[in-house]
Structure formats: C-alpha cells, structure tokens
C-alpha cells in the first residue's frame, strides 16, 4: 500500500517543502520579503533551520520556486486564450480587460507580488535589474503597443517606454495600496487606471465614447 495519508515515507519531504513555501507566502505577505529571514520561515513552518537548505539554497531560490508555481497557474488559466498580439488597446474594453487581468494576478498572489517588487528595488540601482524586470513584466503590453504602431497609430512615445510607464504605475500603485485597511476597491482602481491610460487627464474626446453617462461637464478651459 503506497501512500495512505499522503506519506510514502519519502514523499514526506514534499510535505516539508510545501510547508516552507506556505510559511514563506504568509510571511512575505505580512512582513514583506526583505524583512523575512530564513529562520522566520522555518520557525513558522514548524521546521528546523537546517531543513530549509535541504530544499532551497537561499531565499532567492525559494522565491523562484514560488514564482514558478505562479506562472504555472497563470499559464493554465490562459491556456485557452492563446493571447495573440492582435489586441487593440485603444479599445476601452480590451484595455480594461488587460489591466484588470494584471491587477487581479497581483492581488491574488500578494506574497509573490510583494517579494518580486521588493527584490527588484533592493538591488543596486546600477545593476539594471529594475529596468530588466520592468521590461519582462510588460512584455505583453509592449507587444500590443508595437502592434498598434505598426497599424499606424501614433503613441505618446516609444512603445517600450510607454509600456514600462504603464507597468511602473501598476506595480507601484499595487504595492502602495497593499496597506491593510481602507484601500479603494479593486474595481474602482481598475476603472480609473483604464480611463487614465486610455485618455489621460484631458478625458475622452467630445462625444463620450466611454461607458460613462454624458452628464460629465466639459473640460476646464485654460487658466493662469
């Protein structure tokens, strides 16, 4: 009789590994990645310090494992979508869907989002890691923007830069709003970011093609 209570004797290791990952998630979310020590993780997992190194060489490696899990989950979720680059981000619904997806992933995986963001910023500024991470995480957006440019659309600037700007906004705002209480609810944030990204401060052109009712007053005239 191989495994009865999920313990094939040897597969018990996987249990410890899982416990460590789970504890890490909890602590990363609460105290943050940088302030969580390896000893904190093992203690929270009810394991000895030494056991940690049987599974991970370092905290960074554990984070990598966490990230791999996340990517698997995301892949499984997007498996049916294919996600070609032929999306028109100047279409409000499509834009909102993209931003909402990004936002939801960050919210549903708070520990990883926190850890990645902190790790990105903690590295030496000259290392270029921040830029690299930002580029990677905005790949999809960038490709969509490049597609727009190819179709003749005029963007505010280089797609790479614009995509990075949007990503910077998303990542940092998400992090800042993690504070436990009274954050604006996710829907409102996504709607705001959508409208801002789509039309900026100036607001939509004359005939409101947004979802909003037409009771919005016109743009303010110039001032001092």
Partner DNA sequence: GTCTATACCAGGATAGAC
Partner DNA sequence: GTCTATCCTGGTATAGAC
- Pick what 53 binds: DNA, a copy of itself, none; C-beta below 5 to 8 Å, kind-dependent: DNA
Question: Considering the rule CB under 8 A, would residue 67 count as an interface residue with a copy of itself?
Answer: no
Residue 198 CB, shortest distance to a copy of itself, in Å, is 5
Contact 99, 193 (CB under 8 A): yes
Cβ burial, residue 166 (10 Å; 0-12/13-18/19+): buried
Q: Minimum distance from CB of 39 to a copy of itself (Å)? A: 17
- Under the binding rule (CB under 7 A), the answer on residue 46 touching DNA is yes
Q: How many angstroms separate the CA atoms of 185 and 124, rounded?
A: 34
Return the ∠ at Cα 162 (arms to 143 and 194), rounded to 5°. Answer: 90
Question: Which of the listed partners (a copy of itself, DNA, none) does 118 bind, with a CB threshold of 5 to 8 Å by partner kind?
Answer: a copy of itself
Q: Of these partners, a copy of itself, DNA, none, which one is at the site of residue 198 (CB under 5 to 8 Å by kind)?
A: a copy of itself
Residues 27-46 that bind a copy of itself (CB under 8 A): 29-32, 34-35
Helices in 49-206 by DSSP H: which ranges? 49-55, 59-78, 92-108, 110-122, 129-137, 139-150, 159-176, 186-199
Residue 64 CA to residue 77 CA, distance in Å, equals 20
**Closer to DNA at the Cβ: 13 or 161?**
13
Assess 12 for contact with DNA (CB under 7 A).
Answer: yes
Nearer to a copy of itself, 61 or 91 (CB): 91
CA-based torsion, 70, 73, 76, 81: positive or negative: negative
Q: Is there binding between residue 158 and a copy of itself (CB under 8 A)? A: yes
Is 32 a binding residue for DNA by CB under 7 A? The answer is no
Residues making contact with DNA (CB under 7 A): 10, 12-13, 15-17, 37-39, 46-51, 53-55, 58-59
């Amino acid at each position: 009789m191989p495994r009865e209570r999920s313990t094939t004797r040897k597969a018990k290791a996987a249990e410890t590994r899982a416990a460590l990952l789970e504890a890490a998630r909890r602590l990363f979310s609460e105290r943050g990645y940088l302030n969580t020590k390896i000893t904190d993780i093992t203690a929270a997992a009810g394991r000895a310090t030494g056991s940690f190194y049987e599974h991970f060489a370092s905290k960074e490696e554990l984070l990598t494992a966490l990230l791999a899990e996340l990517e698997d989950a995301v892949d499984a979720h997007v498996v049916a979508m294919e996600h070609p680059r032929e999306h028109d981000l100047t279409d409000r619904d499509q834009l909102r869907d993209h931003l909402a997806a990004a936002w939801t992933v960050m919210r549903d995986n708070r520990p990883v989002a926190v850890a990645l963001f902190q790790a990105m910023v903690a590295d030496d500024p000259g290392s270029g890691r921040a830029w690299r991470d930002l580029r990677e995480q905005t790949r999809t957006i960038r490709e969509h923007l490049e597609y727009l440019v190819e179709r003749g659309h005029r963007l505010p600037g280089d797609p790479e830069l614009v995509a990075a700007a949007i990503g910077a906004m998303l990542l940092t705002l998400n992090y800042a709003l993690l504070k436990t209480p009274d954050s604006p609810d996710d829907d409102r944030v996504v709607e705001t970011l959508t409208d801002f990204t789509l039309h900026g401060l100036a607001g939509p052109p004359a005939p409101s093609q947004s979802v909003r009712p037409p009771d919005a007053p016109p743009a303010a005239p110039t001032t001092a």
